[in-house]
Amino acid sequence: MTRKWLARIFLIALFSLLCAAMAWACEEPIIKSFLVKEGVAVSVSSIRGKVAIEGHRESVVNMVATKYVKGLPEEKARELLSQVEVKTEVEENAIRIATEPLDALSNSLLSLYPPRVNYLLAIPQSSRVDVQTISGAIKVKNIGNEVEAKTVSGETLVQGLAGKVKLESISGKITVERLLGNLEVRTVSGRVEVAIPPSEDPLEINISSVSGDVLILVHEREGFELSVETVCGQFLSEIPLRIREGNSPGWQTLQGRTIVEPRKKIVVKTTSGNISIKKL
């Protein structure tokens, strides 16, 4: 057997061992429940982990927080996870959940095997929600009160929100489905998609984007007025609009409205992103 073949066998064996190590994972779930009042404020702060929140009709907050690391021997993995704490603070009208110590997680961001904490929460639909993540996706569903979500390097998905919604993102896509309440979006380097279901209720949408395309999905029989400002983006609409174009120093602007009496107001401002209105 030649040295060349021996080298190949060695590399294959080494690769197999590395794959096996990467596939091994250590998890530590933490399960808690809290009885709460209507309108409780629920806040979650996380780094390197997903946060998923869904509204239900019970007066209780159910939390499953899973500490997770892979690719390390079990003893080393559990030692690392022991340094990560899921902290909960409960007051009469507020619950605060946070991954701590954040310094330990921050120091691991450049590590080959960083720990994560993934959160899954079921909370009353009347709750006020505040979520912040770094390197972690956010999903919020079926909440009827105010929702605020901020993320850096993570996607955001919200569905069926009926209260005021404020979303901020750096380097992450934002998707809004079945929007039922007013919306404010601020994003840098991320695509924005908003779907507005048919409704006779008034609605205001305000989107500001730097280096990201914006897509608005709306029913063709829905009435809305539109205001657009862009530096170098293009505008396209599948829905007929009465448009009045204008220009201000450094900006292209246009005002538009549907033939149907407007019930919705949409304001979009971009620097280098295209703006599209398409049929839902």
User: How do residues 96-131 score in pLDDT, each as one tens digit?
Assistant: 999 986 555 555 544 666 788 999 999 999 999 999
d(CA 212, CA 273): 5
Residue 76 has pLDDT above 90, yes or no: no
What are the tens digits of pLDDT across the range 166-217? 999 999 999 999 999 999 999 999 999 999 999 888 999 999 999 899 999 9
Identify the three-state secondary structure at position 184: strand
Instruction: Indicate the pTM of the whole model.
Output: 0.86
Q: What's the pLDDT at 4?
A: 54
Q: Encoding tokens for residue 140?
A: 């919020």
Q: What is the pLDDT of residue 155?
A: 96
Find which of 160-164, 220-224, 254-258 is predicted with most confidence, using mean pLDDT. 160-164
Cα separation, 231 vs 210, whole angstroms: 10
The pLDDT-based confidence of 68 (bands split at 50, 70, 90) is confident
93 compared with 75, residue with greater pLDDT: 93
Pairing mode of beta strands 275-279, 235-237: parallel
Read off the DSSP letter of residue 211: S
Higher pLDDT, 92 or 7: 92
Provide the pLDDT for residue 15. Answer: 46
Which is nearest to 217 in space by CA: 258, 278, 266, 138?
278
- Alpha-carbon gap, residue 270 to 215, rounded angstroms: 12
Show the tokens assigned to 263. Answer: 């019930």
How much of the chain exceeds pLDDT 90, in percent?
A: 62
pLDDT band at 78 (very low <50, low <70, confident <90, very high): confident
| Mean pLDDT, all residues of the chain | 87
SS3 label, residue 153:
coil
Among the residue ranges 22-26, 67-71, 119-123, the one predicted with the least confidence is 22-26
According to DSSP, the β-strands at 192-196 and 174-177 are parallel
Q: Which pair of structure tokens corresponds to residue 74?
A: 């079990």
> What is the separation of C-alpha 263 from the centre of its chain, rounded to a whole number of angstroms?
27
